[in-house]
Structure 1
C-alpha cells in the first residue's frame, strides 16, 4: 500500500469503524483522488454505491476516479428561431441611454452664499427642557447664590419684580478658566427656568459670504424668540463679540454690530422670554459695548471647583469604573486647584494604569487609591496659565471694579 498522509490514514480508520457512513467514505475517496490514488478511490466509491446506489456524489466520484472528463453543467436550450434583432428593436424605446447631452439653460438667481433657495435658512438645534438643575451642580455655592440673586429670583417672582420695577432686560456673562463648567452651569439655569436651550458658537454664525454672518446672527435670535421661553447660550463670546477696535475684518465688525442690535431687541419686548447667557475665558477681549446696561450687564466668575464640587465630579467619573477602597475626601484634598476637565483626566489616567497593569500580569485588578493619587500628581492644573494672564488684568485693568471678585480670589489663594 502506498504511503498516505496522516489525514487519509485517520479517515481509513474511521471508515473501518463506521463502514455504513457513506459521506465519510466519499470524503475519503475525494482525498484519494486529490492525492493521485485513483484505484483506491474507485474501491471506496464502489463500496459507497453499494450502500447508496443512486447517490449522485458517489457516481460523480466514481467517474472521476476512473478518469472520465468532468461533465459541464446543463443549460436550457434557447427557444428555436428566437429573433434577437427584433427583441432589441422592441425594447429600444424602453431602456434609457447611458449618457445624454443636455443643452445649457440659464441658471436661476443664486443667493450670496451660493445656494439656490433664497429662503433656505439653516436650522439650529434647540434642546427641549431637561432635568438638569443647579442642585445637580456639586458645590460652587457662591456661583449659585450669585445666579439666584442676579438672574433667577427676579424671574421666579414676577409680582415682586413688578413691585420693585426690576427689568428683565440684559443677560449674564460667565467667565473664568477653561474646563470649569460654564456650559454645564448655563444648562442648569435653563433647567431651573424650564426653558429650551440653544447653544451657539462662532462656527454656527461666521460665514465666508458677505452679509451671511449678520443674517445668521439674526436667525439665531429669531429661532430663540420662536422657541421662547429659551435660554440662548453664546459660547466663546470673545470670538463672537471681539473688540471691534482690534478687528481688521469689516465683516467681523458688522457681526458684532448685529449682535448688539439683537441684544437690544428690534422692537420693544422683542426678546421677551429669551434669556441670554454667554461664556468666555477672556472677558477682557470682549467688546465693551456688549457689557453695557441692558445687554450682558451682569458678570459671574466661575472658578475651579471647590472641595464639594471636586468630590461630586470624581464620584461621577468613577461611578462606572471598577474601584475599591477609594477615600474621596483625601483625594479631594490632593486635587485642589484642578478644573473639572482635569479631574476627568485624572480618572482616565488612573483607569489606564490599572488596565495596563492587568494586561501585563494577566490578572484583572481594581482601580485603587494609589492609582488615583499618582495620576493626580502627574496632571498639572490647566488653569495656572489662565490665572497668570488674569493676574495682570486684575492688577492693571480693573476699571470700575469689573474684576473685583477675581482680585478677591487671587488674594485668597496668594496669587496676587
Structure 2
C-alpha cells in the first residue's frame, strides 16, 4: 500500500518540480526582457556606479530609491572640479563674502547652530551674463569639499503625472543623505520664475513642491544642505523664491583692475599649458600703469570675463593660423616641428578690430535691418511674445492627462 502511494507521488513531484523550474525560468526571462527593453537602463547603471563612488568616499552605506538614483547622476564629486576661487579673476569682495557665508558654515556647521548666527540655506548669485557666476558656484563646492548636485530643469521635469514632484523630493532627500551638500540651480529663473495664472499646473506644482521642501530645510538647523542658484534675470524670480535666498550677491561686470587680473590669469594658464606661447612682455609688471596688460584692460571696457577669454582665444589662434599656412608640405619621413611664434600685443590689436562683446554683433545686425526697413525694431520681440502667450494659453486649456506633458 505504501509502495503504491510512493509510486503515485513520484510523477506528481516530478511534475511540480518541472512546473517550478518553468515558472522560475519564465520569471527570469521576463525580468531580463524588462531590463533589456528599459530605455533608462544605462542611466540606472550609471546612477548605481555614482552611488557606489559616493559611498566609498563618504564611508557610509546610502539607501536610495529609483528617483534618488536618477538624481544621483547629477552629483558632482568636488575632487573632480578643477576650478578654485584663486583661478577666478576679479570679484575679490564677492569671493571674500562667499568664503565667510558659504564655505566656513559648510566646513564648520557646529559653529553656526544658534538662531542668530545660523547657516545660510539659500545663496543667490546674480549679474550680467559671462561674469563667472557658474564658475564661482563650482569653486565653492571645490574649496568647501562638499557634494554638489547640479539641478537642471530637464532633470526635474517628467512626462509622467506625479513624477515631477517625486523628483523634487528626491533631490532634497538625496542631498540630506549626502550632506554636507550644495544643491545648485543654474539659470534659476527658467525653473523657479514668477508664477502666472496661465501657467501649466505641473509647473506650478514643481515650484510649490520645491518651496515647501526648502522651507523644511530652513527650519531644520541640523541639516547641512544649501541651495545655491545663479541667474542674470533676478527680477523674473518669484517673490517667494527670492525671500528664501538669505544671502544674495551681485557679480558685476569686471572693472579695469579685474579685467587686467582676468587677462593675466588666462594668459598665464596658456603659458603653463604651452611653454613659450605668450610674449613675456604681456606678463611683465601687469599691475604697472603702462604695462601691455593695463593698456589691453583699458581697451576692453564693457567686456565680461567670458568675452575676455574669447578675445584671448582668438588672439592666440593668429600665430597658429600663420604657422599652418606657412608650413610646407612634409613627406612621410619628415618630422613636424612646432615653431609658431608666441601671441603678442599686435595679435590683440588685430583681433579687437573685429571682436565685439557677446551679443553685440547680433544687436548691430538687428539695428542695421531696422534702419533699412527690413525689420521693425521691436517686431521680433513682439512676435516672440505673442507666440509664447499663445502656447501658454493652449497649455492652460488642455485637459489633465497622463502623461502630463511637462
Which bin holds the TM-score, normalised by the shorter protein?
Answer: 0.5 to 0.7
Deviations 1:79-120 (A, max 9, x none): xxxxxxxxxxxxxxxxxxxxxxxxxx9xx99xxx99899x63
Structure 2 vs 1, CA of residues 127 and 160 (structure 1 numbering), >3 Å: closer, same or farther? Answer: closer
Alpha-carbon shift at residue 160 of structure 1 (Å): 5.8
C-alpha contact 1:265 1:271 (8 A) present in aligned 2: no
Structure 2 vs 1, CA of residues 352 and 383 (structure 1 numbering), >3 Å: closer, same or farther? Answer: same
- Which of 183, 188, 193 matches 2:134? 183
Matched, 1:195 2:146: yes
Separation (CA, whole Å) in 2 of partners of 1:264 and 1:384: 41
Separation (CA, whole Å) in 2 of partners of 1:376 and 1:326: 19
Matched, 1:120 2:30: no
Alpha-carbon shift at residue 233 of structure 1 (Å): 0.7
- Which of 278, 286, 310 matches 1:323? 278
Alpha-carbon shift at residue 236 of structure 1 (Å): 1.1
**Could you say which structure has the larger radius of gyration?**
1
In structure 1, what is the equivalent of residue 315 of structure 2? Answer: 350
In structure 2, what is the equivalent of residue 381 of structure 1? Answer: 357
Separation (CA, whole Å) in 1 of partners of 2:238 and 2:198: 10
Deviations 1:215-266 (A, max 9, x none): 2111112221111111111111001101112652111111111110121127
Structure 2 vs 1, CA of residues 261 and 146 (structure 1 numbering), >3 Å: closer, same or farther? Answer: same
- Which of 238, 252, 262 matches 1:287? 238
Gaps of 5+ in 1: 1-104, 386-416
Matched, 1:298 2:247: yes
Alpha-carbon shift at residue 187 of structure 1 (Å): 1.7
Separation (CA, whole Å) in 2 of partners of 1:193 and 1:115: 33
Matched, 1:173 2:124: yes
SS at match of 2:203: helix
- Which of 277, 298, 307 matches 1:333? 298
Separation (CA, whole Å) in 2 of partners of 1:271 and 1:115: 35
Q: Which has the higher contact order (CA 8 A, sep 6+)?
A: 2
SS at match of 1:327: helix
Gaps of 5+ in 2: 1-29, 45-64, 284-292, 329-338, 362-406
Separation (CA, whole Å) in 2 of partners of 1:115 and 1:369: 52
Alpha-carbon shift at residue 144 of structure 1 (Å): 1.4
Deviations 1:101-160 (A, max 9, x none): xxxx9xx99xxx99899x633133322233754333333112113324443455566676
- Which of 223, 229, 253 matches 1:272? 223
Structure with greater helix percent: 2
Separation (CA, whole Å) in 2 of partners of 1:196 and 1:115: 24
In structure 1, what is the equivalent of residue 16 of structure 2? Answer: none
In structure 2, what is the equivalent of residue 143 of structure 1? Answer: 94
Alpha-carbon shift at residue 267 of structure 1 (Å): 9.2
Number of residue pairs matched?
A: 273
